[in-house]
Amino acid sequence: MAEHIIDTAQLKEKAELLHAGDRVILSGTVYTSRDAAHKRIVSILEEGGELPFSLDGACIYYAGPTPAPEGLPIGSCGPTTSGRMDPFAPLLLDNGLAAMIGKGERNEAVCEAVKRNKAVYLCAIGGAGALAAKCVEECEEIAFFDLGCESVKRIKLKNFPLIVGIDCHGGMMFK
């Protein structure tokens, strides 16, 4: 297994170098989004509306961060179970999403969409939200404010440790 130090802006071009089980140290901009926000994003896509952020080359982190304590950009920020986003992920990947961060297995449709779009699914360690938050340098709520912790946030990561769960070659850490 290899280790890769990657900025999110490089995810599309580096995806083919990544293999299931590889370690990735990720820095750069990601967007938090969970079930409710995904449902709205898909509705906007289907209606031809404008998304709150461009999917082209983007990375979505399946997280619902807690409010930031005094002096910090974010509260606990651990991954949520990715399978809940499976109904929405293929459409987002087909519209340019480069990577997803979460925990757990994905369904076959997501695996095929990752391959088809030369994307990547990265896994974060569950149960370590306070530690994950230490990798967040900035956080800004950008959309769906009424969803509270599940609103879409733009966060800037620095040296976030991840494992490649599904690569664009069809490799899967779960099998």
pTM (2 d.p.): 0.96
Active-site annotation holds for 38: yes
Cα 126 off chain centre by: 14
* Interval 96-112 mean pLDDT: 97
Residue ranges of alpha helices (H) inside the chain are: 11-14, 35-47, 89-94, 108-116, 129-133
Which residue in 86, 162, 164, 174 sits closest to 124, CA to CA?
162
Mapped onto helix, strand or coil, the DSSP state of residue 92 is: helix
Q: What is the pLDDT of residue 150?
A: 93
* Interval 115-142 mean pLDDT: 93
Q: What is the pLDDT of residue 1?
A: 83
Q: Which of 4, 19, 38, 169 is catalytic?
A: 38
Which residue in 92, 87, 121, 91 sits closest to 104, CA to CA?
121
* Interval 102-123 mean pLDDT: 97
Q: Does domain 3-166 have CATH number 3.40.50.2300?
A: no
Rounded Cα gap, residues 130 and 25, in angstroms: 17
**pLDDT band at 48, cuts 50/70/90?**
very high
* Tokens read off for 12: 């599309």
Residue 75 and residue 69 in contact, taking contact as beta carbons nearer than 8 Å: yes
pLDDT in tens, 6-31: 999 999 999 999 999 999 999 999 99
117-129 burial: b if 16+ Cβ within 10 Å, else e: bbbbbbbbeeeeb
DSSP conformation class of 67: P
Q: What is the pLDDT of residue 127?
A: 75
